[in-house]
């Protein structure tokens, strides 16, 4: 399907209507062309652990990713904030509200890097380990800090997807070997990568992305 877009001005207008009268909004303002995908996403959200914020984020992120893929969602769509604004306000505003509150404008549309649906989709994409079960294994014990650190580190060339997946895998592996490895180490890894990739092309490093990822961990003193 061709995913629709929503401008910033229209998003602001719809956000006001959503805050003012949510029940009326759900009944009258949602795009009926998206009924099927909305029901699929609602079904996915019903199964997530809503008591724990990170579990809710990654579990719904997986459901969101799988369902959007089934409808032909592309990388071009994922890079378009207008698409995420539309999904947030015209398809599943109640799901966004269930996680962040009905009036959390920043999570619906107002700041690109904080649109919730966009953030959790990219987190899953950048953490993907080839299949659903391996991805869950690698990310299930993480926290919301890893989401922020990974997704916020987009460079001038965009994301190095394969590299990010290696970094996430080695973070999981390092935690298996040493229970002391945690959020501070991951933050150091991502900060170091952000600095080094300005002068080093990760894909051309000895050993490619795998060698580059291992180098990052070695530099901060984490054994793999």
- How many domains would you assign to the chain? 2
> Cβ(109)–Cβ(8) under 8 Å?
yes
| Residue 154: pLDDT over 80 | no
Does 148 reside within a domain? no
Does 121 reside within a domain? yes
Output 154 or 74, whichever has higher pLDDT: 74
Domain span at 200: 153-224
Closest CA to 48 of 26, 64, 30, 37: 64
Buried b or exposed e, range 118-131, using 16+ CB within 10 angstroms: bbbbbbbbbbbbee
Task: Identify whether residues 26 and 95 lie together within a single domain.
Answer: yes
| Residue 141: pLDDT over 90 | yes
Task: Identify whether residues 135 and 169 lie together within a single domain.
Answer: no
Does 146 reside within a domain? no
Task: Identify whether residues 89 and 116 lie together within a single domain.
Answer: yes
Task: Identify whether residues 134 and 111 lie together within a single domain.
Answer: yes
Q: Indicate left, alpha or beta for 206 from its phi (over 0: left) and psi (-120 to 50: alpha).
A: beta
Q: Where among 93, 114, 140 does a domain terminate?
A: 140
pLDDT of residue 153: 84
Task: Identify whether residues 187 and 87 lie together within a single domain.
Answer: no
**What are the tens digits of pLDDT across the range 91-120?**
999 999 999 999 999 999 999 999 999 999
Question: Distance between CA 1 and CA 183 in Å, rounded?
Answer: 39
Question: Distance between CA 127 and CA 147 in Å, rounded?
Answer: 10
| Residue 157: pLDDT over 80 | no
Closest CA to 121 of 101, 104, 96, 155: 96
pLDDT of residue 65: 98
Which residue in the block uniquely carries the two structure tokens 């180098």?
A: 215
Task: Identify whether residues 15 and 95 lie together within a single domain.
Answer: yes
């Amino acid at each position: 399907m061709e995913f629709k877009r929503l401008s910033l001005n229209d998003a602001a207008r719809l956000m006001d209507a959503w805050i003012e009268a949510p029940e009326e909004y759900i009944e009258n303002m949602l795009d009926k062309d998206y009924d099927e995908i909305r029901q699929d996403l609602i079904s996915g959200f019903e199964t997530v652990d809503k008591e724990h914020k990170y579990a809710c984020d990654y579990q719904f992120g997986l459901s969101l990713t799988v369902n959007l893929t089934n409808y032909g969602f592309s990388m071009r769509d994922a890079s378009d904030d207008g698409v995420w604004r539309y999904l947030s306000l015209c398809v599943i505003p109640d799901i966004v509200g269930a996680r962040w509150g009905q009036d959390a404008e920043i999570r619906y549309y107002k700041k690109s890097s904080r649109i919730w649906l966009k953030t959790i989709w990219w987190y899953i994409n950048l953490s993907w380990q080839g299949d659903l079960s391996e991805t869950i294994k690698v990310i299930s014990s993480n926290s919301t800090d890893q989401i922020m650190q990974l997704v916020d580190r987009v460079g001038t060339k965009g994301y190095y997807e394969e590299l990010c997946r290696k970094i996430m895998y080695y973070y999981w592996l390092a935690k298996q070997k040493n229970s002391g490895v945690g959020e501070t180490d991951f933050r150091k890894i991502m900060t170091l990568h952000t600095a080094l990739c300005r002068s080093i092309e990760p894909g051309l490093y000895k050993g490619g992305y795998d060698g580059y990822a291992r180098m990052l961990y070695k530099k901060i003193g984490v054994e793999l």
